[in-house]
Chains A and B, each alone.
Chain A
Amino acid sequence: MSETKKSRQERIRNFSIIAHIDHGKSTLADRILEATQALTEREMKAQTLDAMDLERERGITIKLNAVELNYHAPDGETYIFHLIDTPGHVDFSYEVSRSLAACEGALLVVDAAQGVEAQTLANVYLALENDLEIIPVINKIDLPNADPDRVKQEVEDDIGLDASDAVLASAKTGIGTDAIMQQIIDKIPAPKGDPEAPLRALIFDSLYDAYRGVVVYVRIIDGTLRVGDKIKMMATGKEFEVLEVGVSTPKIETRDALSVGDVGFLTASIKSVHETRVGDTVTGAERSAAEPLPGYRRMNPMVYCGLYPIDTARYNDLREALGRLELNDAALQYEPETSEALGFGFRCGFLGLLHMDIVQERLEREFNIDLIATAPSVIYKVVHTDGTTEEVGNPSEMPERKFIESIEEPYVRATIMTPNDYVGAVMELCQRKRGEFQTMEYLDANRTHVIYDLPLSEIMYDFFDSLKSSTKGYASMDYEMHGYKMSDLVKMDILLNAEKVDALSVIVHKEFAYDRGRAIVEKLKELIPRQQFEVPIQAAIGQKVIARSTIKALRKNVLAKCYGGDVSRKRKLLEKQKEGKKRMKAVGSVEVPQEAFMSVFKMSHDD
């Protein structure tokens, strides 16, 4: 029965859920919310933690969320659970590491049929680096092809965790939820920390709210955070006065203070998330901590692309929209840029391709701006003949060859987990993508880790799709940045109607230039509709044309019939035709559809 009453700090459990996409993280979160009766059934919509439409559609978490839940345990105590959600994509691995740093434990959810995947592994390693207690949960045991014993073995072999106590669960049906709750209490340690010490709170997320300014999500490591406190961000040095502190249950509840072990939010009239960087430490402005919490890192974009409004009159709308997104997205960078072909727009920096996709989609969906996105580019380091170095993130700004001494490009170290049968296919793919073999690790009788260094630019070009298709979907992969290497790269220009289109320029490896050039001109021929005149398409390196094709002139476009006096139908057809042209960009005298600009990028896996 009831033991001696535990202190609040002793009753706190902070944890997150680590899972590969589709392995059931959100469903499990829902079960935990139910078990703690955080929401009435009426309030319970499926997958509560993923709030943004985009997240729901893509089944991934972009923005983190943390909830405080009260769990009435069988031992008579009421425990305070803080469930911290983490994004599930490699683009956001730094954010994952910070939210894990806010926890003492993690539930590792593994699909009972799919088993451990490379990306799960990456996050488990992050959790282990942060000294988290890991509770394995084998999920979806009710599926017909579930094989919990095999998956348990994988957890032991691949990760080195003791899986003898792993919970067998079905988050969908609720099997195993009670056991999970009990293990959270028993295995995850209560937070340590000194409530009397100077404040140290870890920022693991922040979001912009139009009414309250930035809402900063923090984990209190030491000290106490009270309304009215003067606080300082240790990395940016910015000071604020706390207006509000509280927790999400997941309804917003304000409190007077947050103390050691608490996970909650603060607001302080902060204008932009750039002042509250993830990983930074909040301390008292007057009574400051001597040392910030470890691990702060400023996130730098890895991928750049140009974003241009199709309708040039909407340039200011685009600027405003980017400004609005930036309030909420500390990783997004942008600066004005001009293209001869596309007019005024912005060069934008992203953490990765998914981040780029999300930003583009939000601009189109939430701000209703039709965009042209140029093919994404990595950042090249160019050494000039005069010895100076320059970073180039826009292919059209690559200097002329005669001024270039050498070019370096970013590499990643990729860890690919594949069934043994596909090791050959994986290696073949990596070789084709200019990969440099590093090592191979045999995980068990069936699976192997293949480790390659690959140019980031090659990873961007449909590498994931090629990997999936050449391994029937069995391989998974994770990667981390791995410095710069010198490469034999050239700039390839695309000419439409004999005019260079700067927005279509790409940097390619010299050896692949010919094939890429040919693939791109053929793809453009397919995508650009016939015009009133013949349009030659050329790919050129410097003055030398390496591939060419021709879009024939439009020859017939006239509706034969008037449909027995149905004029409205004819009108609709003409309006549709006109609308279609609005979604094209006039480049010189050639009407180019939106998707053509990305084609130089989408194309590349066929080379």
Chain B
Amino acid sequence: MTEHVSNRPPRGAYIHIPFCDHICAYCDFNKFFLKNQPVDHYLDALTQEMINYSELGPAQTVYIGGGTPTALNNRQLERLLDDVCRYFQADRVKEFTVEANPENLTDEKLQLMKDHGVNRLSIGVQTFDDDLLRTIGRAHTAEEARAAVRRAQQAGFDNLTLDLMFALPGQTETSLRESIATALELDTPHISIYSLQVEPRTIFHNLMKKGELRLPGEDIEADMYGQILFELEKHGLRHYEISNFARPGYEGRHNSLYWSNEEYYGIGAGAHGYVQGMRYANAGPVKKYIDAVAQFGRGRSSVHEVSEDERIEEQLFLGLRMMRGVSIDTFARKFGRTLDSVYGDQIADLKKRGLLVEQDGRVRLTNRGIFLGNDVFEAFLLS
């Protein structure tokens, strides 16, 4: 017998705030200029969805992302946090994260979040190089980012994570090294550092099509990534996922749900969720989302029932993103077959190529496999 995921309610809730004061050159998330948006109606719709989903059960992690959640004014932010506490039972939430941009992380907002049980802030720093910040279209300086982190720490948030980026256009290895050094000085227990991915429908993508985007290229990108792994590990931030580093005990719980192939509620315009064996996407445009919620109580625009094969694939290509890898026992328990019976050939081949190892009852990426993760993940697609 296989143990079906929907036997227990989703353990996490992602809530999307699609509004921004300005648009960053690399961003392809669902986002809109804040000005003239029906923010209050949007928050009404979020409330509706929260009521709707919370009937299925409480969440242990809540993650409010964007867009820019801190672009909401104090009143709007308070109302949102009130609703989360009411419907997802704040006392049972173990990790409550809000994404924040340095320029609007005011003392008032920090206090508001503290009072509502927010216990983790993800601060969008991206880089501590002012020239690069301008290049990528951020509205803050390096100094403002540093000050925001200090303010958060003074407000009593110890569980902070910084979002950084590398392989940015014009970024040098020196600039990256300095940004890392600054980040480490700030002594946060968690850092996410993402390589730039130029996605369709972004400012960067348009520049690239015109041949005006000068990216560092694969070799420098690989060097940078190697440097990041080395520097952060040296300072006690353990590399636990492709792009994530944490002091032991500070690994992001919410994101770990994704990688562990667990279910989560997705709430808000353009949010993605995984509930009762269904992966779904909400309508992206704000108006469309609000209308959908008004009509159906939920904002879904597409739903996909995940097949057994797909669940198996996802167990691997998501699970292997984590450095601890995928448990052979968990796989067998979850799917009623051994990992070897499904993927024996692929695993043997990947081992031979030095991309995968098996150790202590788990398969995981080798150091080489970390750099070439997509080639490993691809091997686990069944069809």
Contact = CB atoms under 8 A, between A and B. Distances in A.
A532 B272 contact: no
Contacts of B196: 560
A562 B218 contact: no
Interface stretch (B49-57, B124-132, B365-373): B365-373
Interface string A539-563: 0000000000000101111111111
A556 B271 contact: no
Contact of B197 (A561, A566, A567, A571): A561
Nearest to B379: A578
Interface string B355-383: 00000000000000011111101100100
Contacts of A558: 242, 370-374
A565 interface: yes
Interface size class of chain A, counting residues whose CB lies under 8 Å from the partner chain: 20 to 34
Interface string A285-306: 0000000000000000000000
Given A558-B242, A564-B16, A571-B317, 13 more contacts: A555-B222, A556-B372, A558-B373, A559-B373, A561-B194, A561-B243, A562-B321, A563-B29, A565-B271, A565-B274, A567-B258, A575-B381, A577-B374
B363 to A, nearest CB: 17
B374 A567 contact: no
B91 interface: no
A574 B272 contact: no
A581 to B, nearest CB: 8
Given A532-B375, A555-B371, A567 B14 contact: no
A43 to B, nearest CB: 43
Nearest to A569: B272
A555 B279 CA distance: 33
B289 interface: no
A560 B244 CA distance: 9
Nearest to B280: A568
Interface of B: 14, 16, 29, 65, 194-197, 218-219, 221-222, 225, 242-243, 255, 258-259, 264, 266, 271-274, 279, 281, 304, 310, 313-314, 317-318, 321, 353, 370-375, 377-378, 381
A559 B374 contact: yes
Given A564-B271, A567-B279, A557 B374 contact: yes
A558 B353 CA distance: 16
Given A557-B371, A558-B374, A578-B381, A564 B272 contact: yes
A567 B272 contact: yes
Interface of A: 530, 532, 552, 554-568, 570-571, 573-575, 577-578, 581
Contact of A565 (B14, B197, B317): B14
Sorted nearest first, the 6 A-B pairs with minimum C-beta distance are A558-B373, A555-B222, A560-B194, A556-B222, A566-B272, A560-B195
Contacts of B259: 562
Contacts of A581: 378
7 contacts: A554-B375, A556-B195, A562-B321, A565-B274, A567-B279, A570-B318, A575-B381
B205 to A, nearest CB: 15
Contacts of B279: 567-568
A574 B218 contact: no
Given A565-B258, A567-B272, A567-B279, A555 B218 contact: yes
Nearest to B224: A556
Contacts of A562: 255, 258-259, 318, 321
A556 B218 contact: yes
A266 B8 CA distance: 75
Nearest to B380: A574
Given A561-B197, A562-B255, A556 B371 contact: yes
Contact of B314 (A532, A555, A563, A567): A567
Contacts of B273: 565
A557 B375 contact: yes
Given A566-B272, A577-B378, A556 B221 contact: yes
Nearest to A530: B218
Contacts of B313: 571
Nearest to B370: A558
A558 B381 CA distance: 16
Contacts of B197: 559-561
Contacts of B266: 565
Contacts of A530: 218
B381 A557 contact: no
A568 B274 contact: no
B221 A532 contact: no
B191 to A, nearest CB: 13
B318 A567 contact: yes
A577 B380 CA distance: 12
Contacts of A532: 353, 372, 375
A560 B242 contact: yes
B207 to A, nearest CB: 19
B381 A568 contact: no
A567 B274 contact: yes
Given A565-B14, A567-B318, A574 B381 contact: yes
Contacts of A552: 219
A564 B274 CA distance: 12
B348 to A, nearest CB: 16
B373 A557 contact: yes
Contacts of B65: 564
A557 B218 CA distance: 9
A189 B318 CA distance: 80
Given A556-B221, A575-B381, A565 B372 contact: no
A267 to B, nearest CB: 46
A575 B65 CA distance: 27
B218 A565 contact: no
A268 B374 CA distance: 60
Contacts of B225: 556
Contacts of B271: 564-565
A571 B219 CA distance: 25
Contacts of B310: 571
